[in-house]
Structure 1
C-alpha cells in the first residue's frame, strides 16, 4: 500500500481508507494521517467529490453506485474525526466543493434495495419542503461532521473568540438536535438493535459540544482531563482539582 504506482480508482481509495482507520486505532496517528492524505489526494484526483463519479463508475449497478457515494462520505467523516482528535482548526474535505448524493439507510444498502438518493441541497432545504422526506442515519452523521468542521474553526481561536461566534456555532448544534426526525432521536431501532451510524452521530454531537465549550468552561479542571482527546489540553497552571466542601 506504500507503493507510488497504486491504481487510481475507487477501490484503492476504499483500501487506503480502511488501512488508515486500522492504523489510527492502533495509535499510529502520524502514519494514519499520511495514509489518509494519500487517500484524499487520490479521491480528489479521480473526481469522487462529484456526483457523476458514482454514476459513471457503477456500470448501471445501483449497489456499486451507492458504494461509491458511501466511500466519499466515509472519507469525509474520517477526515473530520482524525483532525478533531488532533485539535486542528479544520479538515481538508470540509472546504472541498462536492455534490455527491447522500447515502441511504444501512438496511437498504444491505438488502440491495437502493432508493433514489437525496441531495445535500434537499437536506439543507428540508424545513421548507412541502413533502417531508426521510433521511438516513448516515446523513445525520455527515451533517454533524460538517458542523464539527465549523466548530473546529471556531474552537481554534481559543480565548480570543467573541461570544457571538461561539453562539453561532452552538446554534448549529442546537438546530441539528432540534430537527432530528422522530425516529432518529433514539439510537435503538424498533427491533431493539443499535442503529450504528446514528449512535456514532449522537456521540459525535456530544463530543463536539465538549470541543466547543470545555476550554471556556468555569467548571473545575482535573489532571485526568489531560488524558482526553475531546478538548484542548489545559496549561498546567489551569489544572485544578475540585475543592472539597466541609459541612
Structure 2
C-alpha cells in the first residue's frame, strides 16, 4: 500500500473548520494529528485517514476527539467509557480498541484522573495480550501499512506502561519481545510508505555488527524504555542490582546515537517529537539511577504526583552521582529549549520537568550565592514550561504548585546561618535577595484545597 497524498496543516484547517469549532469531529481529528500524533505516532497516518475517513471505529474517533479537544477553549466532549470499549460485544477485539485505550490513558493521566487512566491502561494491556498484539504474526494478511500501525500500537503501549510505572507507581511493566520488529521512520510512515525495519534483538546488537539499518526515532525510543525498565526493575531486586552495568547502558545509548538524533531535531532543524521522547526517557532513567545516590537527595523528600521521590541509597561517591544527576536534569531542560511552542510536546513531559526540577532545585538551595546562572535560567524555563503545558494538561499546574511548596519547605528547614563565608544571613534572605522570581513562585496561590485535591475552578470529571 503506497499512498502519496499530502495535506498541509493550512489545507487541513481550511477544510475542517475554525479553531473554535470544537463540535466539528473532523476538526478535532485534525487537531489530533497536528498536536498529539507527532509525539505518539501509532494511529494510521493522516494522509491515509483523509482518504478513508470512515475507517476508524466510533470509539477510536471519540478517544481521538477527546484528547484533541484539550487544544481548544470550547467545552470538550465526554471521555469515552473504558468499560463500554472493553465490554461491547458488537465491536471487534482488535488493535483499534487498544489504540482507544492508550489515548484515554494518556489523557487521563494528563488530566490527573489516575483511576480512569489505570483502568484504561489495565484494559489495554489485557486486550493486547488477548489478541497477541506483541507478535509480528498479528495482523497477518493485513496491508503492510496497517501492520506497521499495529506494531506501533504495541510499542506505544510498551512505552506508556513503563512511563506510568515510573510516574504513577503502578509497578507494572511489559516484557519486551525478543525479536519483534521495531517501527521504521516516522517520515516514511507519515507518507504512507513502507520501509525495512530491524528487530529488538538487532538494535541491542548494533554495537557489534556492521551498520546495515538506519534506526528510527521510534526504535530509539523503545530502546530507551528498555533501559529505563531495567533501571526500575533494579530497585525491586536489590540483590541483582548492578549500578555500573546500568550506567554503562545509559552512556552507551547516548554515545551510539547518530548526530542527527542527539538533539531531538530532524535534518531540517525541526523538532523530532518522538526522538525528544526517547531522550526524555533515557535522561529520566539516568536521574532515577543517580539521584537517590547523590548528596542532592539529602536536601529533602520532594514527592510530587509524578513520583519524583525515589528514596535514598547509601553510597560512597555522592559527588559523582550528583554530577551525573545534574547532567541529565540539564539535558532534559535543553529538550524544552528546542521548542518554540510546547503544543506538540508529549503530555508525559510535565512529569519529566518535575524530575529535572527536583535535581536542580536541590542544587539551587544548597549552593552559596551567587548562584550558578544556568540553574536560575533552567528553573525559570521549567516553571515557564509547566505554566504553558498547564494551559493544556492540568497535571502541569499541579507539578508547578508542588515545586513552590517544595521551595517553601526546604527554605523553612534551612539553618539560620548562611552557608556562605560572608556575614550571617538567613537562607530565605539569601535566596530572596538574589532572585525575586523565586519569591514570586513561593507566594503563588496553592492549587490544592484543604483535602489535597487539585482545584482549577472546575471538576476534572465530566
TM norm. shorter chain > 0.5: yes
- Encode CA deviations 1:78-128: one digit per residue, 9 max, x unaligned: 00000011345x53313x545431001111111012102211122122223
Which residue is 1:50 aligned to?
135
Instruction: Tell me whether 1:93 sits opposite 2:169 in the alignment.
Output: no
Q: Distance in 1 between matches of 2:307 and 2:258?
A: 27
What's the CA shift for 1:161? 6.6
Q: Per-residue deviation at 1:207?
A: 1.4
| CA–CA separation in structure 2 for the residues paired with 1:124 and 1:161 | 25
Deviates more, 1:2-11 or 1:136-145: 2-11
Q: Which runs of 5+ in 1 are unaligned?
A: none
User: Cα gap change, 1:165/1:231 in structure 2, threshold over 3 Å: closer, same or farther?
Assistant: farther
Contact 2:168/2:305 (CA < 8 Å) preserved in 1? no
Q: Distance in 1 between matches of 2:208 and 2:178?
A: 22
Compute the displacement of 1:228 (Å): 6.5
Cross-structure match for 1:64: 146
1:51 counterpart SS class = coil
**Contact 1:105–1:137 (CA under 8 A) maintained in structure 2:** yes
* Deviation of the 1:177 alpha carbon: 0.9
Structure 1 79/220 Cα, relative in aligned 2: closer, same or farther at 3 Å? closer
The CA RMSD over aligned residues, in Å, is 2.7
Q: TM-score, normalised by structure 1?
A: 0.85
Q: Which residue matches 1:210? A: 287
- Bigger drift between 208-217 and 3-12 goes to 3-12
Query: Could you list the per-position Cα deviations for residues 42-88 of structure 1 after superposition, in whole angstroms to 9, with x for gaps in the alignment?
Result: 1111011111104x152xx2211110110000000000000011345
Equivalent in 122, 126, 149 of residue 206 of structure 2: 126
**Structure 1 residues 215, 224: CA separation in 2 closer, same or farther (over 3 Å shift)?**
closer
- How far 1:220 moved relative to its partner? 6.0
What's 1:226 paired with?
A: 303
Q: Counterparts of 1:48 and 1:124 in 2: how far apart (Å)?
A: 22
Displacement, 1:222? 4.3
Residue 148 of structure 1 pairs with residue 225 of structure 2? no
For residues 120 and 233 of structure 1, the distance between their equivalents in structure 2, rounded to whole angstroms, comes to 29
Q: 2:192 aligns to what?
A: 112
- 4+ residue segments displaced more than 3 Å: 96-99, 220-224, 239-243
Distance 1:154 1:234, change over 3 A: closer
Structure 2: runs of 5+ lacking an equivalent: 1-81, 313-409, 423-462
Which one has a bigger Cα radius of gyration?
Answer: 2
Distance 2:133 2:272 in 1: 27
**In terms of mean alpha carbon deviation, does 25-34 or 217-226 score higher?**
217-226
Deviation readout 1:153-208 (Å, 9 max, x if unpaired): 12345xx678x711221111111112112221121222121011111111121111
Preserved contact between residue 155 and residue 222 of structure 2 (Cα < 8 Å) = yes
Q: CA–CA distance in 1 between the matches of 2:165 and 2:309?
A: 13
